[in-house]
Homo-oligomer: A and B are copies of this chain.
Amino acid sequence: MLVRINTAPRMPIDGQLAALASERMLSEFRYRRGSEIFGEREEPEYVYQIVSGAVRTYKLLPDGRRQINAFHLVGDMFGFENETTHRFTAEAIVETHVHLMRRTSILEAVRNGGAGAKDLIKFVTQNLQHAESHMLLLGRKTSLERVTAFLLEMDERLQHPDVMILPMNRRDIADYLGLTLETVSRALSILRDEGLLRFDGNSQRRLELVDRGALAKIDA
């Protein structure tokens, strides 16, 4: 029997910004695990599309508290700015290959009208939509609901693989969900003990959602 896992196909990218991406591609670039792609307050030069790997974008408070806005997976675009500075930092979670586009060429495409503007509005709107539901999660959900919502979000974005391989560690998940890593770990253990998910073999990053229906009921 074939077991589908979320090993990313390296090439065929079904872009969110297809009309923009196809033509204006510049080159491919590689980032090491943990390395910074761009920093908060830096001047934006490129827009990025992930060919392989995974990226976290986050904001920091002066004392080091971190909030991860979003995880970006294969095919996702990120880094677009309308203003002259980046609003957050982007880091490669694992070794990551990206395609670059010049920001100015995107802006030019908008100026010229056509599909570019519409695509870009759609892209920004999707980000906004994600942010809005994440505010509901951060403001009003319990820790178990948050972790469940995270699992279901990843499951969907990875197209419901039999075995889900998470690129990020527990601290990343915690900083995405507004929790501590211990609380994330405890929530996962509860879901495991209740038979809703299984840790797969040796690695705690590989997991299998056994009962998606029950998980969906927990996520209010």
A residues lining the B interface (CB < 8 Å): 59, 61-63, 65-67, 69, 82-83, 87-88, 110-114, 117-118, 120-122, 124-125, 127-129, 131-136, 138-141, 175, 177-178, 220
Contacts and interface: CB of A to CB of B under 8 A. Distances in A.
B62 A220 contact: yes
Given A65-B141, A87-B129, A124-B128, 8 more contacts: A59-B132, A61-B141, A82-B125, A110-B121, A111-B118, A112-B113, A121-B121, A131-B135
A177 B140 CA distance: 10
Of A69, A120, A132, A175, which is in contact with the most chain B CB atoms at under 10 Å from its CB? A132
Contact of A88 (B69, B117, B132, B134): B132
Contacts of A138: 135, 138-139, 178
A135 B175 CA distance: 11
Nearest to A81: B125
